Structure 1
Amino acid sequence: MPTVTRATFTGTARARNSLRVAVIADSDTRWKWGALTARRIAEGCADAELHGFLLRGRATPTARQLSEVGVEWGQPREVTGAEFLTAVERGPYDVVVLALVGGSVQALLHGMARLWPGHERRPVLVTGYVGVVYEKLADGLLLRHGADVVLANSPYDERRFTQVYEGVGADASAVTRAALPFLGGTPHTGAADAVVFAAQPSVPERRADRAYLLRRLVQHARLHPGREVVLKLRSKPGEHTTHIEELPYQRLVRDLDTPANFRLAYGHMGEVLDRTGLLVTVSSTAALESLHRGIPTAILTDLGVREPLGNHHFLGSGCLTSWDALDAGQRPQASQEWLREHGVSAHGDPYDAVRERIDALLARPVLPPVSPYYSTATATGYLPGILARHRLDETPRAEATGVRRVVREAVREAARGAYRHGVQRVAPVIRRMGEL
C-alpha cells in the first residue's frame, strides 16, 4: 500500500469536506513539486488523504534524497505505470497529480483514457512543471495535454501555454495559473552573508565549463576569506535527479586546493537559503526560491547567455552578471516587474484559482473522457513509441499471486538494479571514454 498522509487543513471553506489525492513522481525534484502541490490543492478541506507513489525508472529517488527535499511525508510506494493505473482504478481518488516527465504524463493519460472511456466518474487529473520552462516548450506541453488542469507557474507561462495549445487547435481551458508550491521561507534581512552556488546536474554539460565555474567559486572564497562560500549539490555520486549528472562537482573539486571557508552542502534548499546572502547559479530553479525571499541572486553570464544553459529565461530580471562583477562586490537588484510577471512575487494565494477549478470539476456529476491532443490520428509515428516505453500499449494484466508473484518481484528488482547500474555508472564512463 502507498504511504498515506492524513492531515487537517484550515483556510477558505471548500465545497468538499474531504479529499483523496494521489501523487505520482519520477524524481526527487518532481516528488517535491507534486507533494507540495497536492498539499496546496487540499488546503481548506476538513479532512484530506494524500497518497504517494514513485514511478519506477532511472531517476527513482533514494530514501536519502526523499528525506532532503523538505516534504514531511512517509516513504511513497514504488510502482510501474501499469501498477499505478491499477491503484488509481481501485482508488477511488478525487484528484491525481502527475508530477512526471512529459512522456510519462502522456502515457498515463492514455492509460486513464482506457480506464474511463466515456462520460463517467473519474479523478481530476493535474500536471505541470517543477520549475523554469526554458526548453522543449511545445513538445512538453503537448505531452501534458489531456489533463484537466495544467498548472502554469506565472502569468508569463500562462500566456505561453495557452498560445501553444491554441496554436495547434487544442483545447486550452486546462491551463490554470498558479505558482511554484515551494516558494516561501523566511524573508532575507541582510544578516546572512554566505555565498551559495546552486549546482545543476546537466547545466553546463561540458567538463571544461563545469571546471571553470568551480575554479571561480573557489577563487571567490580565497578573495573573501571572511565569508562562507558554499557549493550546494543536488545529489551524491551514483544518485540521480531529474537530469543525469555525468560529471559531479564533488569529483571535480578533488583536483582543487580549497580554502577553509569553502565547503560542500547537501540537503533541503530552503535550509541553505536561510543562511544565504548571495545565491549564484547558471539557471537553477533555486534562483526563483532565492528571489522570492529577497536574497540577492546572480545569474552567471560567464559561459554566455544561451538557450541550452537556460539563463536566457532571466533576460530583463536584472540578475544577469559575471564572476568578475561578483568578485568586485556587486549584488544584483532584481526587477520587481519581472518578478511579478514570472510568478516570483504575487499578491494573495496563487492557488485559489486552482482550487476553484478543481472544485468546479468535482462538482460535476461526471467528467468528459480523457482526450489528449496526441492520438493515433494526430501522432501516428510518435505516440506508439511513448506508450511502448511505459508498457502501456496493452491492457495491464492482473496481479500474480503466490510463488509467481515473489519470483516476478525478485526478477524485477534484479533487473532494475542492473539497469540503474548501467545508466548511472557504466554509460557515463563509456561516453567519457568516447570523448578522449
Structure 2
Amino acid sequence: MDSAPQRRATLLVAYDSQYKWARQIGRALERQDVGVTYVICSDFRHSISDAQIGEVAPHEVPVLRDRDELLDDLLDSDIVVFGIQGPLTSNLTAELVQHAQRTGRDLPVTVTGWVGVIIEKIVAGYLERFTSDVVAVNSRADLRTFEATANSLGLPTDNLLLSGLPLLSAHRLPLRENPIKTVMFADQPTVPKTLAERTYLYQRLADYARAHPDRRVILKPRHRPDEDTFHRMSKHPEILLEGMELPSNLEVDYTPVSDMLNEIDLMLTVSSTAALEALGHGIRTAFVLDLGIHERLGNQIFTDSGLLRTFDQLIADDVGEPAEGFVDDYFLEKTAAPVDLIAERASELVGVPAADRPSRSAIDTDYFAGVIAVRAFREDQRRGGAASGLKAGVQKANKQIRVQFDNSLRSRAKALALVVLPVSWLDRTRRKVWNAKRSQHPTGQTKQASAARFSSTDKPTN
C-alpha cells in the first residue's frame, strides 16, 4: 500500500479559469508526490459553478476558508500556489509574512503566475507577485520586462522562472494543412466592452458563416448565462444573438476549448489565450483586426504575430502564418511542460531553508518595506488612529477648495449680470440688499460703522 504524500500544497483559486490553471499545476505537483488541496477564500469575491468544476476536476471540489483560518492553513503547507488575481495575491502575501513573523513560523514555498496571456498591467502585475519563491513567467517578452523592472528597483530576479503558459505543452505541433471545416470564435467577457462592438463581431461571424455554408462555425462564449467569471460580462452572447437572423451553420457551444482542439481547423478571437492554445496544437489562428489595435482590446501585444486579420480577409481565406519571433516568445521548446517546470522548482525549494529561499531576499528589500508601511498606514487610517489627523487635514483642504470655488462662481455670476442685465434692475437689487442689511441692525448702523466704532474707542493705546 502506497504511503500518503509527506508534503502538502494549498492552491488558492476564486474563478474557473484560475481553478483550471491551478489544477494543471496541482497535477504536476502530485507527480512530485505532493498532496494538494484547492481552497477558495470566502472573504474574496468568487464564483465557480458545479458545471465549471465538473469540466476541470469533478471529484475535487475546492474547500471554503475564511481569512483567519486560511492564514494558519497556508503556514501549515509546504507549498502555496496563488491562483488568485494580483492585488489579492499581494495583500494575502503581506498578511502571510506578517502572520509568520508574529507566530515565529517559517513561510511556505510560494508560487505565483498568470492564468493567461498578460494583456494589461504587466509591470503592476509583476510587482504584486515579486515576493514569491517562484514567479512563473509566460513568455520571453514578459521575462525581459520583469528583469528590467527588478533591476531598476533593486529586486531579486532568481525567482523568475521562464516556464511558459501552463496550458501549453512542451512542444508546439506543426500547422495543419487540411481543409478548413470547423471554425471557432473564442469570445471574451469584456473584450470588446461596448454593446455595439460586440454585436458587430457576432454579425461579422454570421457573415463568415454565410460565406462558407459548408463549414461549421462555432461561437464559444466564455461562460454560460447564469455563471460568473473574474471579468464580468454585461451582455451575454446568447442575448445579443436573439435579435439576429443567423445562418444554420452558426452555433453556440459551451464545450471547453481544450476538449475541441482535435476538431477545430481555424481559431478566431480578439485577444483570448485560447489562440495560443490552438497554435500549440497546430491549428491555424487569427486575431480579429476589425476593431483596430488598442490596449482596451488587449491585442496590442499581437502586433508582431503575423496573425492580425480582418473578417474580409478571413472570408477570403487569407489567414496568414505566425511570425517566427512571436512563436519563439511563447513556445519555449523546453525539455518539460510548463506545469512540470513549475512543480519541479517548487518541490526543490521545499528542501531549502526558508531563510535561503528567493522570497527571503525579496521580503528584505526596501520596496517591500514600503508596501508594508503603506498597509500599516491604511489600516491605522481605517481604525481612526494617528493617520486620521491627515484625513482631517485633507477634509479641511477640500472644504477650502469648495469655498474658493463657490466664491469664484459668485464673482463670475456678478460679472455676467453686469453684461446681460439692465442697469435699472441692478440698482433696484442693490437697494434691496442694502435695506435688508440695515434692518438687521436696530441702531441703523452697518457692520462697517460698528467696526469703525471699535477701532476708534476700544483700540488699546501704548
TM-score by length of 2: 0.73
Q: For residues 66-215 of structure 1, what are the structure 2 equivalents within 5 Å?
A: 66-68=53-55, 70-71=56-57, 73-89=59-75, 91=76, 93-117=77-101, 121-184=106-169, 189=176, 190=178, 193-215=181-203
The higher relative CO (CA closer than 8 Å, separation ≥ 6) is in: 1
Unaligned runs of 5+ in 2: 384-462
**Equivalents in 1 of 2:72, 2:375: separation in Å?**
25
> Hey, what does 1:377 align to over in structure 2?
370
- What is the Cα deviation at residue 38 of structure 1? 2.5
Structure 1 residues 163-214: Cα deviation after superposition (integer angstroms, max 9, x where no partner): 2222222222211111222224995643662110000011100111000000
- Cα drift, residue 346 of structure 1: 1.6
Quote the Cα distance in structure 1 between the aligned partners of 2:140 and 2:349: 22
Sort the Cα spacing of 1:359 and 1:53 in 2 relative to 1 into closer, same or farther, 3 A.
closer
Alignment of 1:331 with 2:304, yes or no, is no
Bigger radius of gyration among the two: 2
Aligned mates of 1:123, 1:249 — CA distance in 2: 43
Residues paired across the two proteins, number: 371
Pick aligned residue for 2:41 from 55, 58, 67 = 55
Evaluate the alpha carbon distance shift between residue 66 and residue 191 of structure 1 in structure 2; reply closer, same or farther with a 3 A threshold: farther
Rounded Cα–Cα distance in structure 2 between residues aligned with 1:123 and 1:198: 37
Q: Which residue of 2 aligns with 1:260?
A: 248
* 1:349 corresponding residue in structure 2: 336
Distance 1:388 1:74, change over 3 A: farther
**In structure 2, C-alpha distance between the alignment counterparts of 1:298 and 1:255, rounded to whole Å:** 27
What letter is aligned with 2:352? R
Cα distance in structure 2, aligned partners of 1:386 and 1:297: 48
| Aligned residue number for residue 289 of structure 2 | 301
Partners of 2:335 and 2:58 in 1: CA distance:
24
Give the drift of 1:347.
3.4
Which 10-residue stretch deviates more, 24-33 or 179-188? 179-188
Residues 25, 342 of structure 2: 8 Å contact kept: no
| Cα drift, residue 218 of structure 1 | 0.8
Q: 2: distance between equivalents of 1:41 and 1:192?
A: 38
**AA partner of residue 27 (structure 2):** R
Whole-Å separation in 1 of the counterparts to 2:39 and 2:380: 20
| Alignment RMSD (CA, Å) | 3.0
Give the Cα–Cα distance (whole angstroms) in 2 for the partners of residues 336 and 72 of structure 1: 39
Which amino acid in the other structure matches residue 98 of structure 1? F
Matched to 1:377, the amino acid is G
Structure with the higher helix share, 1 or 2:
2
Evaluate the alpha carbon distance shift between residue 376 and residue 130 of structure 1 in structure 2; reply closer, same or farther with a 3 A threshold: same
Partner of 1:409: none
2 CA distance for matches of 1:386 and 1:293?
49
Report the equivalent of 2:457. Answer: none
Determine the structure 2 residue equivalent to 1:22: 10
Cα distance in 1, alignment partners of residues 308 and 324 from structure 2: 15
Tell me by how many angstroms 1:76 deviates: 0.7
Matched, 1:318 2:306: yes
Residue 138 of structure 1: how far off its partner (Å): 1.7
Provide the rounded CA distance (Å) in 1 between the counterparts of 2:267 and 2:85. Answer: 27
Q: Deviations over 1:43-67 (max 9, x none)?
A: 3x3x331111123343421111222
Contact 1:145 1:372 (8 Å CA) reproduced? no
Superposition deviation, residue 158 in structure 1: 1.6
Instruction: Tell me the CA shift for residue 385 of structure 1.
Output: 5.7
Per-residue CA deviation, residues 47-100 of structure 1 (Å, 9 max, x unaligned), is 3311111233434211112222x34651111233333213223x3x22110001
- 1:335/1:206 CA distance change after superposition, 3 Å: same
Deviation at residue 386 of structure 1 after TM alignment: 9.6
Q: Are the counterparts in 2 of residues 40 and 181 from structure 1 also a CA contact under 8 Å?
A: no
**What amino acid does structure 1 have at the position aligned with 2:13?**
A
Partners in 2 of 1:18 and 1:186 — Cα distance? 35
Q: 1:402 matched to which residue of 2?
A: none
| Contact in 2 for aligned 1:203/1:309 (Cα 8 Å) | yes
The answer as to whether partners of 2:39 and 2:62 remain within 8 angstroms in 1 is yes
SS at match of 1:331: coil
Query: Structure 1: how far apart are the matches of 2:285 and 2:381?
Result: 43
1:220 maps onto 2:208 in alignment: yes
2: CA distance between counterparts of 1:234 and 1:387? 41
Structure 1 gaps of 5+ residues are: 1-6, 9-16, 392-436
CA distance 1:333–1:281, shift in 2 (3 Å): same
Task: Give the Cα–Cα distance (whole angstroms) in 2 for the partners of residues 320 and 73 of structure 1.
Answer: 40
Partner of 1:235: 223
Could you tell me how far 1:120 is from its partner in structure 2? 5.3
Structure 2 vs 1, CA of residues 242 and 194 (structure 1 numbering), >3 Å: closer, same or farther?
same
Letter in 1 for 2:78: D
Q: Is the 8 A contact 1:192 1:274 kept in 2?
A: no
Shift of 1:269: 1.3
CA distance in 1, matches of 2:275, 2:310: 15
Identify if the C-alpha distance between structure 1 residues 122 and 73 changes in structure 2 by more than 3 Å, giving closer, same or farther: farther
Task: Report % sequence identity.
Answer: 30
